[in-house]
Each structure stands twice: as C-alpha cells, then as structure tokens.
C-alpha cells in the first residue's frame, strides 16, 4: 500500500513537472533572450548562463517609442472593458437568476451561443458601422467591442454567484419597500462582490492579450500592445529579435503580476462558490 501511494505521488509530481515545463519554459526562454546579444538568441542548445545586457530594452525605447504608448492604450481599454462588463454582468446576472421567463432563458442561451462563434464573423460586419459612426480607432469603440464579446461570460459567472444568494433576502427587502435597484445595490452587490471581482479578472486577462479585434478596429490612436508587437515582427527593415523579446517581456509583466496577485483571491472565490453550492 505504501509503495502504491508513493508511486501515485511520484506520478502526479512528474505530470505536474511536465505541465510546468510546458507552460513556463517558453516564458523563461523569452525572458532570458531579452537580456542576450541578438546574435546569440537562437543558439542551439540555448545558453542559460551568460552575461546579461539591457541593450535590447534601450533599443526598444529608442526605436519603438509607440510600444509604450500602446501599453497605455491596452491599460485604458482593459480596465474600461473589465469595469463595464462587471457592472453590466451584475444586472444581467441578477435578471437571469431571479426571473424565470421563456424569453429570458432564450436570450441567455443566445448570448452564449454568439460567444461561441469565431469573432471574425461578427467583427468584419461591424467595421463599416464603426467607420460610418466615425468611432473607429478609438478607446471607446474597443471598450464597447470587448464588453460586447465578454459580457456573456460575465453574465453566466454572475448568475451562478447570485443563485447562491437566498431569495428570501430579496423578498424581505421588497416587503420593506425596497426597489429592484436598491435590492441590487444593498444586497446583491455586497454579497456578490466575489463574483464581480472574478468577472473583472477574467475579462482583464482576455482583453489585455486580445489581438483580432484590435488588428481590425485600430490603426494608430488606440493601437494596443499586441498590435505593435506584431508590427515589430513584420517590420520592413527586418525583425529585431532582441527588442522584440524585450517588448514581449514588458507586455507579459503586468498581466503576470496581476495573475500572481489575484490567484489566491480566485481560488478563494471558487472555493466559496463550491461550498455554497
């Protein structure tokens, strides 16, 4: 029995190690490459011990200053879309949780079905509309687009959290004369805060790295970091791999820190949901 338990433990440890290698090794190679001389980046096997340099980051700042502007654009669009989705999902999640009507049920599955379609199918048809309204290449448009694509996920997450809040609290508040808005503000919002933050985190992660919509609807003013990184990769003067690796690290760092800071909260959030469920 002890041998079996030990074998099971070692097997799980080996699988975990392989998963970590699969996930972390490419990131490690990119980080190391950003501190290498460009001529040695693609050495085989890769050199793990070397004298680090910061020339790639200096070259990035000197020759690609628009990359840092794009980071600001990414931040504005990410925070704006995540905040909007969290606010809208609170209302739609409450509606889907508390009301049982056929049209509402159909609309819930409709927005989920739309989310399963490839974004390119919908985004191409929206481009002429955005151009006609003269809102293309703006932060406002990108926030609206990201919110429209992610609100279905947020609504279902919020519905699952609000389902766990006893209806009796709503009924008691209604008897005391509270309106629907007051119920949401005074009961659902405080008790569903874990779900709201979970929605914000998921949308922020998706929005920060989104490429397709940004490549279609932005040109200069609202370009996000993935777009500028892509332009560096396809530069007419040739790809500068050192600065490109540096840009990838800088783009990765904020979302990596964000995930590390919020991972404990996410685990706590879903643990609470499982216990209540």
One domain for residues 23 and 83: no
One domain for residues 236 and 115: yes
One domain for residues 26 and 67: no
Asked whether residue 48 is assigned to any structural domain, the reply reads no
Asked whether residue 59 is assigned to any structural domain, the reply reads yes
pLDDT digits (tens, 9 = 90+) for 64-99: 999 999 999 999 999 999 999 999 999 999 988 888
Q: Report the alpha-carbon distance of residue 106 to residue 97 in Å, rounded.
A: 14
Q: Report the alpha-carbon distance of residue 144 to residue 15 in Å, rounded.
A: 41
Q: Report the alpha-carbon distance of residue 224 to residue 273 in Å, rounded.
A: 34
One domain for residues 128 and 9: no
Asked whether residue 40 is assigned to any structural domain, the reply reads no
Q: Report the alpha-carbon distance of residue 60 to residue 232 in Å, rounded.
A: 10
Going by pLDDT thresholds of 50, 70 and 90, the confidence category of residue 275 is very low
Q: List, in order, residues 6 or more apart from 234 with CB less than 8 Å away.
A: none
Going by pLDDT thresholds of 50, 70 and 90, the confidence category of residue 58 is very high
Q: What range defines the domain where residue 19 resides?
A: 2-33
According to the model, what pLDDT value does residue 231 have? 87
Question: 95-99, 165-169, 257-261, 266-270: lowest mean pLDDT where?
Answer: 266-270
One domain for residues 25 and 90: no
Q: Is the peptide bond before 45 cis (omega within 30 degrees of 0)?
A: yes
One domain for residues 259 and 183: yes
Asked whether residue 183 is assigned to any structural domain, the reply reads yes
Per the structure, the count of domains in the chain is 2
Asked whether residue 50 is assigned to any structural domain, the reply reads no
Asked whether residue 45 is assigned to any structural domain, the reply reads no
CATH number of domain containing 81: 1.10.3720.10
One domain for residues 117 and 8: no
Going by pLDDT thresholds of 50, 70 and 90, the confidence category of residue 60 is very high
Q: Is the pLDDT of residue 265 over 70?
A: no
One domain for residues 23 and 72: no
Asked whether residue 79 is assigned to any structural domain, the reply reads yes
Q: Is the pLDDT of residue 111 over 80?
A: no
According to the model, what pLDDT value does residue 277 have? 43
One domain for residues 187 and 243: yes
According to the model, what pLDDT value does residue 183 have? 87
Asked whether residue 89 is assigned to any structural domain, the reply reads yes
One domain for residues 129 and 12: no
One domain for residues 130 and 72: yes
One domain for residues 130 and 9: no
According to the model, what pLDDT value does residue 3 have? 54
According to the model, what pLDDT value does residue 236 have? 58
Closest alpha carbon to 204 in 23, 24, 74: 74
């Amino acid at each position: 029995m002890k041998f079996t338990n030990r074998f099971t433990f070692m097997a799980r440890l080996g699988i975990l190690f392989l998963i970590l290698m699969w996930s972390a090794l490419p990131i490690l190679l990119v980080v190391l490459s950003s501190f290498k001389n460009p001529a040695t980046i693609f050495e085989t096997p890769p050199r793990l011990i070397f004298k680090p340099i910061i020339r790639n980051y200096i070259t990035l700042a000197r020759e690609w200053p628009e990359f840092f502007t794009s980071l600001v654009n990414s931040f504005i669009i990410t925070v704006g879309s995540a905040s909007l989705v969290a606010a809208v999902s609170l209302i739609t999640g409450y509606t889907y949780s508390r009301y049982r009507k056929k049209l509402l049920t159909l609309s819930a599955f409709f927005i989920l079905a739309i989310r399963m379609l490839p974004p390119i199918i919908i985004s191409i048809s929206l481009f002429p509309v955005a151009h006609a309204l003269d809102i293309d290449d703006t932060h406002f448009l990108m926030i609206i687009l990201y919110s429209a694509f992610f609100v279905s996920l947020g609504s279902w997450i919020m519905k699952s959290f609000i389902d766990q809040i006893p209806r009796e609290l709503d009924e008691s508040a209604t008897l005391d004369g509270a309106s629907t808005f007051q119920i949401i503000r005074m009961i659902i919002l405080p008790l569903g805060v874990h779900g709201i933050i979970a929605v914000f985190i998921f949308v922020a992660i998706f929005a920060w790295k989104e490429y397709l919509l940004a490549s279609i609807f932005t040109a200069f003013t609202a370009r996000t970091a993935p777009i500028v990184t892509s332009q560096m990769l396809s530069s007419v003067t040739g790809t500068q791999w050192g600065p490109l690796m540096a840009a990838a690290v800088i783009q990765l760092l904020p979302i990596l820190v964000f995930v590390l800071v919020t991972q404990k909260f996410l685990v706590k959030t879903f643990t609470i949901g499982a216990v209540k469920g």
